[in-house]
């Protein structure tokens, strides 16, 4: 008999989660103005809002927490992390920051000027926010295949070289750098192939442009390269990661993802001058260059997490759990971004609730329905998150309208996944009865989805 797949860890500590009834949830979500970010976590049973900072640290990471050096300057924890960053990514220069968007803030303070154009593959919302906040523009150069959820393509995070070259041709002087997000969150946790990274490097060299990797889920990207790309089958995850990073000039990292910690980030750089310039902003926004908003214990846990997060057995367990949920949903006929991504399942809300007008926020409607059904919290990656056009102030309706079910690392079992899948199936079976979506009551100027207040349309 063939042995079934099983997790590469066992559980040493547990946390109670609370079930609720539909009546309670109806009241809670109404009070939260139909915004799942406004719920209290105790009002949630299974929390798939994000895989960011929600993972379970290992015994080794917790042990390292006790060894943190809390010196203001020159802490041994800084050097421990610096060494791990160099070993895993190859970057000589590094600045710790409190999380990924802080790394973006510091690096972009040096690199992005008004009227600049930053091409990339479906920029993450904070990345785009930090570009647009500086009155610059993010231009999406993702391959067209990514926008057809039914299409099976192994690297839907890839940059379309034609689209990128067009931007470089037309506005070369305005482009400070190209940003490549690995894996690409916005298109569904989809990986970028090594061949594509190599080609982007060649193109960037022809136009003398820097490349920055948004590396939050770089290890999951390396895993997909190993299992999907010819020539990488026998390479280790760390060898693949090192090659990936060799094509970048700098990187921003949210350690809350693939470094499996609850808080942290950093910038990796090759150029000492860039490091010098970024250091000034790091001191201003984050903290001195040897701690950057992190305590020594945090840096220790990240250092260990970078190694654990790049172990094949861990990654296989992780990505296969996401796939397990995805396959269940596929077997129920539920439309989702194919193939299933690295950190979550991205349900195609446009096809799921096809009779609901986009102006009523299909993915948000589905997210609220799922919460009401069983207390599962997903997140909208659609028109609410897309914000308004900074110039026209019109709502932007993206091609893809997703309900994202992001799976925290090493936290839930497949029984939890079964419950999530059954909940969505129940909604899918009565999808034609879902005829009322939402309208906006109150919204912020930028990144409105976090705080938006909604009412029934």
Q: Does 365 sit near ligand F0G (CB under 6 A)?
A: no
62, 80 contact by CB (below 8 A) = no
List the structure tokens of 323: 């796939």
d(Cα 33, Cα 141) in Å, to the nearest integer? 35
Q: Does 157 sit near ligand F0G (CB under 6 A)?
A: no
**CA 80 from chain center: how many Å?**
26
225, 193 contact by CB (below 8 A) = yes
Residue 214 or 380: the one with the smaller Cβ distance to ligand F0G is 214
Q: Is 257 annotated as catalytic? A: yes
Residue 196 or 360: the one with the smaller Cβ distance to ligand F0G is 196
Among candidates 417, 373, 419, 381, which has minimal Cα distance to 399?
Answer: 381
Question: 202-231: which residues touch ligand F0G (CB under 6 A)?
Answer: 214, 216
3-state helix, strand, coil in the chain (%, to 5): 45, 15, 40
Q: Is 256 annotated as catalytic? A: no
Which string of DSSP letters, residue by residue, matches 374-386? HSEE-EEESTTTT
The one catalytic residue among 51, 125, 140, 348:
125
Q: Does 187 sit near ligand F0G (CB under 6 A)?
A: no
Q: Is 209 annotated as catalytic? A: no
Choose which of 91, 124, 291, 352 interacts with ligand F0G (CB under 6 A).
Answer: 124
**CA 289 from chain center: how many Å?**
25
Among candidates 164, 169, 219, 150, which has minimal Cα distance to 191?
Answer: 219
Q: Is 72 annotated as catalytic? A: yes
Q: Does 181 sit near ligand F0G (CB under 6 A)?
A: yes
Q: For the CB of residue 406, give the shortest distance to ligand F0G in the complex, in Å.
A: 6
Q: For the CB of residue 126, give the shortest distance to ligand F0G in the complex, in Å.
A: 5
Residue 302 or 315: the one with the smaller Cβ distance to ligand F0G is 302
Return the H-helix or E-strand segment holding 411.
none
Among candidates 25, 348, 352, which has minimal Cα distance to 188?
Answer: 348
Q: Is 148 annotated as catalytic? A: no
* Piece of 99-107, 298-306, 389-397, 426-434 that binds ligand F0G (CB under 6 A): 99-107
Binding mask 263-282 for ligand F0G (x = CB under 6 A): --x-----------------
Q: Does 99 sit near ligand F0G (CB under 6 A)?
A: yes
3-state DSSP call for residue 166?
helix
For ligand F0G, how many residues bind (rule: CB under 6 A)? 16
CA quadruple 308, 313, 314, 316: dihedral positive or negative? Answer: positive
Q: Is 348 annotated as catalytic? A: no
Q: Is 10 annotated as catalytic? A: no
* Piece of 13-21, 120-128, 320-328, 449-457 that binds ligand F0G (CB under 6 A): 120-128
Q: Using omega within 30 degrees of 0 as the cis cutoff, is the peptide bond preceding 339 cis?
A: yes
Task: Point out which residues pair with 180 in neighbouring strands.
Answer: 213
* Piece of 9-17, 119-127, 236-244, 418-426 that binds ligand F0G (CB under 6 A): 119-127
Active site residues per annotation: 72, 124-125, 214, 216, 257, 449
**Interface with ligand F0G by CB under 6 A: which residues?**
50, 52, 99-101, 124, 126-127, 181, 185, 214, 216, 254, 256, 265, 406
């Amino acid at each position: 008999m063939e042995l079934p797949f099983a997790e590469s860890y066992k559980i040493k500590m547990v946390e109670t989660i609370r079930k609720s009834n539909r009546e309670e949830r109806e009241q809670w979500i109404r009070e939260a103005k139909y915004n799942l970010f406004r719920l209290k976590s105790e009002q949630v049973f299974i929390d798939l809002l994000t895989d960011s900072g929600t993972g379970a640290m290992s015994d080794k990471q917790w042990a390292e927490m006790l060894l943190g050096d809390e010196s203001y300057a020159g802490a041994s924890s800084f050097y421990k992390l610096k060494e791990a960053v160099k070993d895993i990514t190859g970057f000589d220069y590094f600045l710790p920051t409190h999380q990924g968007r802080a790394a973006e803030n510091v690096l972009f303070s040096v690199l992005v000027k008004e009227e600049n154009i930053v091409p990339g593959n479906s920029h993450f919302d904070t990345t785009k926010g930090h570009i647009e906040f500086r009155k610059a523009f993010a231009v999406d150069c993702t391959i067209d295949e990514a926008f057809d959820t039914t299409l099976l393509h192994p690297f839907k995070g890839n940059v379309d070289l034609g689209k990128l070259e067009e931007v470089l041709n037309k506005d070369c002087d305005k482009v400070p750098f190209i940003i490549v997000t690995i894996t690409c969150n916005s298109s569904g946790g989809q990986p970028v192939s090594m061949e594509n990274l190599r080609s982007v490097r060649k193109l960037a060299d022809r136009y003398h442009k820097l490349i920055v990797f948004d590396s939050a889920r770089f290890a999951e990207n390396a895993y997909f390269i190993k299992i999907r790309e010819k020539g990488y089958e026998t390479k280790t995850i760390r060898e693949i990661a090192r090659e990936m990073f060799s094509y970048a000039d700098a990187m921003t990292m949210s350690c809350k993802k693939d470094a499996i910690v609850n808080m942290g980030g950093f910038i990796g750089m090759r150029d000492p001058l860039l490091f010098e310039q970024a250091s000034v902003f790091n001191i201003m926004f984050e903290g001195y260059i040897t701690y950057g908003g992190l305590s020594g214990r945090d840096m220790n846990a990240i250092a260990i997490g970078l190694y654990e997060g790049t172990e094949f057995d861990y990654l296989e367990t992780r990505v296969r759990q996401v796939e397990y949920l995805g396959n269940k949903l596929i077997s129920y006929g539920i439309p989702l971004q194919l193939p299933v991504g690295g950190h979550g399942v991205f349900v195609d809300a446009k096809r799921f609730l096809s009779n609901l007008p986009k102006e009523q926020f299909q993915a948000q409607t589905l997210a609220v329905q799922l919460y009401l059904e069983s207390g599962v919290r997903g997140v909208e990656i659609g028109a609410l998150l897309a914000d308004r056009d900074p110039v026209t102030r019109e709502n932007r309706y993206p091609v893809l309208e997703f309900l994202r079910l992001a799976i925290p690392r090493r936290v839930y079992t497949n029984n939890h996944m079964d419950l999530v899948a059954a909940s969505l199936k129940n909604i899918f079976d009565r999808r034609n009865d879902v005829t009322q979506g939402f309208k906006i009551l109150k919204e912020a100027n930028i990144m409105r989805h976090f705080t938006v207040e909604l009412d029934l349309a």
